[in-house]
Amino acid sequence: MGGTLWFAMVRPRGLPEAVVAVPAAGLVLALGLTSPAEAGRRVTEILPTMGFLAAILLVGHLAAAEGVFSWLGGELAEICHGRPRRLLVLTFAAAAGVTAVLSLDATVVLLTPVVLATSERLRLAARPHVYACAHLANSASTLFPVSNLTNLLAFAASGLSFAGFTALMALPWLVTIAIEFGAFAWFFRTELRQPATRPTTEHRQAPRFPLIVLTVMLAGFVTGQLVHVEPVWVAALAALVLAARALARREIRPWQVVTEASPLLILFVLALAVVVEAVDEHVLGSLLRTILPATAGLPQLLLAAGVAALLANLVNNLPATLILLSALGPHPAPGVLLAVLLGVNIGPNATYLGSLATLLWRRVLSRHDERPDAAEFLRLGALTTPLSLVAATCTLWLVL
C-alpha cells in the first residue's frame, strides 16, 4: 500500500494513480491476501459513492466553464476594497462554501487559482489566502455527506439521514472554521497589516443558470432522502443539465464530459479499496478494533478522532477511512463514526501527506509558479490542527 500511495502522491511523469493501484490490487488477489468475494463486496459497497464523486467532479468543472469561479473571484476583489484582512474573511467564506457544496477538490483545483489571481490583481500577499484554501479544503469538509469522499464512504454506515448528518456536524464545522480563522489572523499578522490597495476591479455579471442549478442541487441533497432519492442521482441530474447546456453551446466537447468525471481516479479508489482490505485483514484491523471505542463519551470521541488523525497522516486520509470503517464494523455508534470523520478531515492539515487534496493543492500552485514552504505549512498545521480537532470533537459531544 505504501508504494501505491507514494505513486499517487508523486505521480511521476504525470501518470494517473491507477497505473500502480490496479496492478497492486491484482497482486493482492493473486497472493491470496484477500479473497475475491471480500474484494468484490468492498468494491460493490463503494460503487454508489464513486458514482457520486464522478458526478460532482463533473459539476465542478462545468460550473467553472460557466464562469462561476471567475465571477466569485471578481466579487471577492470588489467587496474587499483592497483590504487584506477582509479578503481573508471572504476567502474563508468562499472556500468553506465551495468545499461544503462541491467538495474539497473544487476548492483545491478551481478556487485556489482564482484566489491566487485575485490576490495578485489586488497587489496583496497571496500566502494567507491560498493557505486558507488548502486548510479549508480539509477542515471545512465536515458539514455535508457530499463535502468529502471520506464522508461519502462513511455516510451509509452512519445510519443518519442527510439532514441528520448535517445537523450534528454544523456546529463542529462552524467552530473549526472560527478557530482556523483566528489562527490564520495571528500567524499571518504581518501580511494582514499590509495597507489597503486601490486597483481597479472589473464587475462581472453573475452566471445565473449554473448558480440556480447548484442551488437546486444542494436543496436536492437535503430533501432528496425524504422521497428516497439518493445524492448520487441528484448530482448526476445536475451534471446532465450543465453538460447538455455546455454541449449545446459548444463550450465543451463530448470527450471532456467523460474525462472531467475522472474515471481513472474512480478506478484508483476502487483498486485502493481492494489493497486496503488486505491491509485491514493482516496488519491494522485487529489493532484498531482493540483501540477504537464503541461508545460516544467525550474521552472516547477524543480517542477516536485522535487515532483517525494519526492514521490519516501516516497512510493518507482516504485509505485511513477505509481501514477505520472496516475496523468499526457494519453498525458503529454514529457519534464515534462522526468523530472519526473529524479526525480524517481536520487531521490532514498537520502534514502534506495527510490528504491527497493537499498534495494536489501544491501541484496547482506549482503550475502558477508558486512554491509553498514546507516548514511554514508544518508550523501552521501545528498551530491549527490540534486545537481545531479537540474543539470540534468537544462540540460534537455537546451536540450529541
For residue range 58-76, list pLDDT tens digits in order. 888 888 888 888 888 888 8
Domain membership of residue 11 (yes or no) is no
Higher pLDDT, residue 86 or 352: 86
Domain membership of residue 237 (yes or no) is yes
Domain hosting residue 339, numbered range: 18-25+35-399
Domain membership of residue 97 (yes or no) is yes
Q: Alpha-carbon torsion 224, 228, 231, 235, what sign?
A: negative
Going by C-alpha positions, the residue among 180, 176, 171, 389 that lies closest to residue 301 is 389
| DSSP tag of 297 | -
Going by C-alpha positions, the residue among 55, 137, 151 that lies closest to residue 97 is 137
Polymer length in residues for the chain:
400
Q: What is the pLDDT of residue 347?
A: 95
Domain membership of residue 10 (yes or no) is no
Going by C-alpha positions, the residue among 207, 198, 200 that lies closest to residue 71 is 207
How large is the C-alpha radius of gyration of the chain?
20
Going by C-alpha positions, the residue among 358, 370, 363, 354 that lies closest to residue 135 is 358
Domain membership of residue 13 (yes or no) is no
The Cα angle at residue 356 between residues 352 and 361, in degrees rounded to 5: 70
Q: Are 55 and 238 in contact (CB under 8 A)?
A: yes
How many domains does one find in the chain? 1
Domain membership of residue 233 (yes or no) is yes
- pLDDT above 70 covers a percentage of the chain that reads 93
Domain membership of residue 8 (yes or no) is no
Domain membership of residue 339 (yes or no) is yes
Q: What is the pLDDT of residue 7?
A: 60
Mean pLDDT across 216-235:
81
Q: What is the pLDDT of residue 14?
A: 66
Placement of cell 458539514 in the chain: 143
Greatest Cα pair distance, the chain, in angstroms, is 65
Give the predicted TM-score (pTM) of the model: 0.82
